Chains A and B, each alone.
Chain A
Amino acid sequence: MPKIQVTLLTGRSLGQGRAKEQGKLSELYLESVACCEVQHEDLQNIGLEYGNNIRVTSNHGSVVVKVVAPTQPLPRGVVFMPYSIWATQILGSDTEGTGMPTYKCIPCTVEPAIDEKIMSIEELTKKFPRKRSRS
């Protein structure tokens, strides 16, 4: 399976900012944030087209999202994901003594995941453990 090494940036996009105000369970929010922007030449290297699903993997986790065209030009080897529960699946919790996790410049790989499903918010929240007894 072809795989490319990339640098992941997460950040705000106007679409994400607008969609979150319409509700985080909405279809518009899912469309706006469960995605990863990849430059065209990088995408050709793994034989995919925009609209396909990809798997983005870091040292801390892995997530399936839709690959979309950059809304703002990206340098080669740099990919962008809007802030969201999909992006945070692959972020590390180490803050290097600052309190701030690293949300930008994260080494990752991107590979095709055409037949894999993008998890919904409800499915992602069920993934989190519930260990202790509840009231």
Chain B
Amino acid sequence: MGLEESTFRDVVCTVCGCCCDHLEVTVKEDTVVKVKNACAMSTSKLLNYMNERIMKPMIRRRGRLSGCSYRDAVDAAAKILLKSRSPLLYGWSLTSCEAVEVGVELAEEVGGFIDNTTSTCHGPTILGVHEIGESSSTLGEVRHRADLIIYWGCNPIHAHPLHMSRYTLLSKGRFRKSRSERTLIVVDVRRTDTAKMADMFIQVEPNKDYELISALRAAVRGDEIEQDEVGGVPTDLIEEVAEMLISCDFGALFFGLGLTMSPGKSENVDAALSLVRDLNSKTKFVIIPMRGHFNVNGANNVMTWMTGYPYAIDFTRGFPYYNPGETSAVDLLARGECDSALIVASDPVSNFPYKATCNLTSIPLITIDPHITPTVLCSDVVFPSALVGIETSGTVYRMDGVPLVARKLVEPPRNIRSDIEILRDILRRYRNLKRLGR
């Protein structure tokens, strides 16, 4: 980390849920100068992480954000939380498990809601798993054994660019060594770039996934399908696919937001989990959600260890309560139930629907983020933070639940602290103010 050029090997990427751990990053004078083995998104992040950085804490005064001391920002944040009856603590998927741990402690202390970005990505997946359970495995198992891969409602070439080369179709496993030993089926509304690589592409009509999965379940059971087509897919083809699924040795179904974000949501996932459960009476099959952010799975795990629930947790009653649809961030904001918010490593102003965002910008807003984002522009108190996996280390969970350590590669800019330090300082100040009765 000095003036000499040094290369870090087996670096864990902190972009998507693949958490690829084979990157080579060359650093000189505390700057990343070269990146090898990374995808386009990861390379872009590692070479541009200093773009649009926030370099000092800020407080909104007379309608404008202006620089302030770190101490003043901590004091202002603690006072906002102290005045609130139902604050929302949201984000947590682009930071470390250790920061999430402090976040849960803070949420309990302030008696607020804590939710992570799961509620707007794979929340319905978790609801489906509550109902059905999941037959899962690590990505290593898939790499070594899977002879049939399905991507349903996901497009890894764009969203998880190295998923196919590291874990599925193009990977070299112990028992499946080449592309010719694997079959790829893609189900999507669009003929995506992933679909172009498939042995079989099934184009389903928009919002007909549930019907198609149900028909496939019927075909796997050996039941007759009376319709000529389901969801735009001919019955003959559905029966052919069912035969392919039954006759494989080790099948892996990966699914994305095509199932969770379309009407039906958790019911679509419920159907996919049920299909895989059914298939396990005939052969070996696993199902793995394509998690988006690099530590969204870690946020679920830490919150589950600490509260019993993976996201959308309500501490306003004095004990953890969980009911997605009621205690999840978008619902709380749409109903106008929160009176302040602390956003950590997330950009809900860009990602939440308009009405929920209007209510978010109407309440006192504290944001901890390395970069300038629309959420930062709408905030009242802003803390610049160090990037996990580049400027600070931390534990992250890959999409299949394997924990990995994201390392520190360079020093953060002067006076830029980690999420953990900032959250601990806010918690400490909050406790002091509360004890003093202010």
Contacts from A to B (Cβ < 8 Å): 7, 9-14, 17-19, 21-26, 60-61, 70-75, 78, 80, 83-85, 88-105, 121-122, 124-125, 128-132, 134-135
Contact = CB atoms under 8 A, between A and B. Distances in A.
Given A72-B190, A129-B358, A100 B261 contact: yes
B62 to A, nearest CB: 9
B358 A128 contact: yes
Given A18-B40, A24-B52, A135-B80, A99 B312 contact: yes
Nearest to A63: B354
B159 A24 contact: no
A84 B354 CA distance: 12
A131 B359 CA distance: 9
A99 B361 contact: no
Given A23-B372, A24-B372, A98 B123 contact: yes
Given A17-B159, A22-B44, A99-B123, A105 B378 contact: no
A83 B347 CA distance: 12
Nearest to B333: A93
Most B CB contacts (10 A, CB to CB) among A101, A125, A129 go to A101
Interface stretch (B95-103, B220-228, B237-245, B262-270): B262-270
A89 B361 CA distance: 14
A104 B324 contact: no
B257 A104 contact: yes
B258 interface: yes
B246 to A, nearest CB: 29
Chain A binding site: helix, strand, loop or mixed by DSSP? loop
Contacts of A12: 155, 158-159, 257, 292
Given A17-B40, A103-B261, 15 more contacts: A9-B189, A11-B159, A17-B16, A18-B44, A23-B371, A70-B190, A73-B190, A78-B189, A78-B190, A78-B206, A83-B350, A88-B350, A98-B124, A99-B123, A131-B362
B197 interface: no
Contacts of A71: 193
B129 interface: no
Contacts of A134: 60, 63, 364, 380
B363 to A, nearest CB: 6
